[in-house]
Amino acid sequence: MKTTFSKIVTGSFIAIAAMTMSSCEKDLSNSENMRYASIIDVAGDGTTSVMHSNMQQAFVETAALTETELASLVKIKDEEKLARDVYAALYQKWASPVFSRITNAENNHLSAINLLLAYYGSSDTLIGEVGVFTNAEVQALYNNLVSAGSTTIEDAYKTGALIEEMDINDLQNVIATTSNANITMVMENLERGSRNHLRAFNKQLVTLGITYVPTYISQSAYDQIVNSSIEKGKNYMMQGNGKGHGKGKGKMRNGNGDGSCNN
């Protein structure tokens, strides 16, 4: 009987130790995961916004911006404003919800670029009035896009698709010409947003029986995007608190010899 009781106690101790170790390992895993978070928030319809707080906390130390990098960011800032302002005008014209949602997303993207510029101490953060651009070429492009999208609702969705594929092309060019980790991170996530928004406009065109032919990206690239699922993005290490992911610098808990975990 004594031997049986001893076996039961020993077995219980081993079971408890195993459960404790499993709990510690789970805590370790959860704590590690809490140090990472996405910098984009993607709605069910593909509308993609940048979580500014997470983006800023994911920044790493880099060299100062080069003149080329600064010029690239200013160009992308103008394109995000262009997209926002065109979509706002087309929403006023057609009252299609997709334009309203993506207008808000593009405004969010525009703010993200300004935050990136401000992080590097740039003063090129002026946005200006809706529909007004200091760059004459961008102003002419805005006027042409609004005009093209105001003819029919089909043309409006085509205009949206055109803007998104133009953004994809330009964002890829920035990524290919920089070694700055923060620029790459932000551009890659804006590109995910553009692909998601392209999917949204393509969905509207398909519903209307319209086959869209891309201008700025290849047909194969376009087909690959619109025939694939909405993208959610990836996680980055947070230097502070990542939204919905706990403390970015929280200590990982380890198992102790007495079977407890450090808190």
Q: Which of 254, 244, 204 is nearest to 226 (CA)?
A: 204
Per the CB < 8 A criterion, the answer to whether 194 and 171 are in contact is yes
The amino acid sitting at 134 is T
Report yes or no on 120 lying in a domain. Answer: yes
Q: What is the CATH number of the domain that holds 228?
A: 1.20.1260.10
For 95-141, how does the pLDDT look when each residue is reduced to its tens digit (9 = 90+)?
Answer: 999 999 999 999 999 999 999 999 999 999 999 999 999 999 999 99
Q: CA 51 to CA 43: how far, in whole Å?
A: 13
Report the predicted TM-score, pTM, of the whole model to 2 decimal places. Answer: 0.80
The residue-averaged pLDDT of 252-263 equals 32
For residue 105, the enclosing domain spans 36-237
Token pair recorded at residue 201: 């406009």
In a domain, 57, yes or no: yes
Q: Is the pLDDT of residue 90 over 80?
A: yes
224 is a domain residue:
yes
Q: Considering the domain boundaries, does residue 195 fall inside one?
A: yes
Query: Is 226 inside a domain boundary?
Result: yes
pLDDT in the model for residue 134: 94
Is residue 102 a part of any domain in this protein? yes
pLDDT at 35: 87
Mean pLDDT of the chain: 84
For residue range 144-163, list pLDDT tens digits in order.
Answer: 999 999 999 999 999 999 99
Q: Is there a domain that residue 262 lies in?
A: no
Name the β-bridge partners of 237: 36
Domain count, the chain: 1
How far apart (Å, rounded) are the C-alpha atoms in residues 154 and 151? Answer: 8
Question: How many residues belong to the chain?
Answer: 263
Q: Is the dihedral of CA 67, 176, 113, 115 positive or negative?
A: negative
pLDDT at 241: 53
Asked if residue 236 lies in contact with residue 38, where contact means CB atoms within 8 angstroms, the answer is: yes
Q: Report CA 171 to chain centroid distance, whole Å.
A: 13
Q: What is the DSSP string of 183-216?
A: HHHHHHHHHHHHHHHHHHHHHHHHHTTPPP--SS
Mean pLDDT across 14-32: 41
Can you tell me the distance from the alpha carbon of 116 to that of 7, in angstroms, rounded to the nearest whole number? 64
Q: Is 252 domain-assigned?
A: no
